[in-house]
Amino acid sequence: MDIFAQTTNFHSEGLELAEVYYPTYFQALAEERAIAAVDARHDFRTREFTDSYLIPFGITSMLDTPIQIDGKIAGVICLEHVGNTRYWTIEEQSFAVSLADSVTFAVEARQRQRAEESLRQAEEKYRSIFENAIVGIFQTTPDGEYLSANPALLRIYGNSSHAELVGTLTNVTQQLYVDHHRHAEFVRLIQEKGKVSDFESQIYRRDGSIIWISENTYTVCDRYGNLLYYEGTVQDITTRKQAEAALRLEQEKSDRLLLNILPQPIAERLKQDQSIIAETYTDVTVLFADIVGFTQISSQISPTELVSLLNEIFSTFDQLAEKHGLEKIKTIGDAYMVLGGLPMPRSDRAEAIAQMALDMQQAIAQFSHSHSQTFSIRIGINSGPVVVGVIGIKKFIYDLWGDTVNTASRMESHGLAGRIQVTPATYDILQEKYLLESRGTIEVKGKGKINTYFINGIK
């Protein structure tokens, strides 16, 4: 830091001594209170400096004493003699040590002063944060007694002062937490882990109203590990929780609407932003149903009555589809389409479709009786491979295509009122369990002649 040359009465600075180049010297400083080297160029403690320092500066004798701060060498006071060698007296050595002690005391005093100033500034800063924070800050005993609470916490809890908080909140479990088990969980976590983060609970305010809070709390212990108190923050998250609840409700509504349009597996894939969904299924059974004479019926009633009538019939069909684990695809006017084996494959798909068809006939019969009007339906069924997918970007629809679908539609349109007509492919699957009647060969548009069968019931 500073070199003073007495002969020239001049101070200089900037010279550095690297410990790595003078290991013996620094080792001696660590072990001795003072190095009094009469012949510095030959003394084993200082001779490392001979060529690089002592000879160039004409130094013959050295009296060095370390400055120690907190038990570590922080610097050195060096008294260096030029000319003839110098014998360092006891008084001179004591004087050098006292100089080093004086520097030590001065440095320690400055460090204490700086530490005290830093502590004062930190306390002022903490107090400002404590008083002006928008989140609640507190200290409590393990039993729940509030040692301190900032203005924000008082506002959150609805108290006018710290005295009111302490005077009225005597049992945290019973008076503060809406769910008493929630506080027990809080205590368990902080005892196990020493801290609790983002702990959300409902609490009672001073006026009895209920709000949501989020707590971050940790334990404060003495140096022996004994628990002193809990310290942490509280944030009012009521607005956020209300927004989350509203968003969750809207999400549930959206999901229900989506599931009314699409099968659940397809809806989940669509929510993952799969732009194109198209797959081939080899084994499905398709059912088409059509209300016979509905055009004539629709001309005799009002639009409102017409929609109400269709809604009642198709709602019954929807319940049957859900009962048998089948997938409703769509309605077109007075036609109803449902299939088995999609989107989840199943071995009894044809049996489930056949049973639904029989139930649909029974439902229409009951409907006719309750409305004192004759209703009947034609049903056509076919089994085989189909291509399924979601088409469109607005008002998209889950639909299926292929010869199996077209033939099932022809079975309905070429069928008879009140009967369930099936193809040979479906007949082969159902003949062991169901009563089937051969209709014979019929001419089917676009398909030519096909042997068809009627389902009359279960064997």
pLDDT in tens, 226-238: 999 999 999 999 9
* DSSP-derived 3-state class of residue 14: coil
What domains does the chain contain, in order, with CATH numbers? 3-111 (3.30.450.40), 133-241 (3.30.450.20), 262-458 (3.30.70.1230)
Q: Is 290 a catalytic residue?
A: yes
393 pLDDT above the threshold of 70: no
Q: Distance between terminal CA atoms of the chain? A: 110
Which residue among the candidates 59, 213, 334, 381 is catalytic per the annotation?
Answer: 334
Listed range (179-193, 291-305, 311-325, 329-343) with the worst mean pLDDT:
291-305
Handedness of CA 366, 369, 372, 374 (dihedral sign): positive
Which residue among the candidates 137, 290, 353, 429 is catalytic per the annotation?
Answer: 290
* DSSP-derived 3-state class of residue 18: coil
Name the nearest CA neighbour of 389 among 277, 274, 285, 280.
Answer: 277
Residue 209: per-residue pLDDT: 94
266 pLDDT above the threshold of 70: no
pLDDT in tens, 394-436: 666 777 889 999 999 999 999 999 999 999 999 999 999 999 9
Query: What CA–CA distance (Å, rounded) separates 136 from 150?
Result: 6
Residue pair 176/159 in contact (Cβ under 8 Å)? The answer is: no
* DSSP-derived 3-state class of residue 392: coil
Name the nearest CA neighbour of 287 among 426, 163, 105.
Answer: 426
- Tell me the mean pLDDT in the region 334-354: 90
Listed range (9-13, 93-97, 122-126) with the worst mean pLDDT:
122-126
- Tell me the mean pLDDT in the region 215-222: 92
pLDDT in tens, 138-169: 999 988 889 999 999 999 999 999 899 988 88
Residue pair 96/34 in contact (Cβ under 8 Å)? The answer is: yes
Note every long-range contact of 56-63, with CB atoms under 8 Å and residues 24 or more positions apart, other chains counting. 57/82, 58/82, 58/83, 60/84, 60/85, 60/86, 61/37, 61/85, 61/86, 61/87, 61/88, 62/35, 62/37, 63/34, 63/35, 63/36, 63/37, 63/88, 63/92, 63/93, 63/96
274 pLDDT above the threshold of 60: no
Residue type, 318: D
Which residue among the candidates 190, 291, 313, 381 is catalytic per the annotation?
Answer: 291
Q: Is 291 a catalytic residue?
A: yes
Q: Which residue's structure tokens are 């403690």?
A: 45
Q: Give CA angle at 321 (320, 326), nearest 5°.
A: 150
Residue pair 420/350 in contact (Cβ under 8 Å)? The answer is: no
Residue 273: per-residue pLDDT: 63
263 pLDDT above the threshold of 70: no
375 pLDDT above the threshold of 90: no
Confidence of residue 202 (pLDDT cuts 50, 70, 90): very high
Residue pair 139/148 in contact (Cβ under 8 Å)? The answer is: yes
Residue 391: per-residue pLDDT: 67
Whole-prediction pTM: 0.50
